Amino acid sequence: MNPKKVAYTNLFSTFFLTASCSLMTIQVLAQSSSEIPAGGNVTVSSGIETPIYGARARCGSQTAPTFEEVIERGLEVEPEHGKLSDGGTGTRYSQKCNSDVLIRIISYTSNEDYIGEDQVVIYGDETNITVEDAQ
């Protein structure tokens, strides 16, 4: 039986999987760039940590900026109804660099039971956050 290629997409990345029905196995073949925004409008669930921003490295850099660097140098407006945390690293296409670049993923978690609007500004990029009931 020929394996089938199946595309699996979630908020962080896209994986191409090879699934063999007869063996019931899944193999990860490749991982593409993360789809993390650099500003804009984001909807999150109350109390759930969610990636909201990707702070890119300089063109040609071999490392992503640290969470501390992004907060110290880039955070211009802090969230009023939640907290920011380190979401790890990933990649994002940069038009300025004309290539994929390393990013530090910034995640947001709203205060418990908060429903409404929040905002952060990082490196001049405004991110408007709509917090909905987690249900």
Measuring CA to CA, which residue among 111, 118, 130, 126 is closest to residue 74?
126
pLDDT at 37: 74
Q: What is the DSSP letter of 78?
A: -
Q: What angle do CA 26, 48, 55 make, to 5 degrees?
A: 80
Which phi and psi (to 5°) does residue 81 adopt? -120, 25
Residues 14 and 51 in one domain: no
Listed in sequence order, the DSSP H helices in 8-130 are 67-69
Residues 1 and 50 in one domain: no
Q: Please report, in tens digits, the pLDDT of each residue of the chain (135 residues total).
A: 333 222 323 333 333 333 333 322 222 222 333 467 788 999 999 999 999 999 999 999 999 999 999 999 999 999 999 999 999 999 988 889 999 999 999 999 999 989 999 999 999 999 999 999 987
Residue type, 63: T
pLDDT at 93: 87
Residues 49 and 28 in one domain: no
pLDDT at 66: 97
pLDDT at 119: 98
pLDDT at 36: 73
pLDDT at 39: 83
How many folded domains does the chain comprise?
2
In angstroms, how far apart are the furthest CA atoms of the chain?
A: 56
Structural domain range at position 88? 40-132
Residue type, 96: K
Residues 49 and 14 in one domain: no
pLDDT at 30: 26
Residues 23 and 50 in one domain: no
Residues 51 and 22 in one domain: no
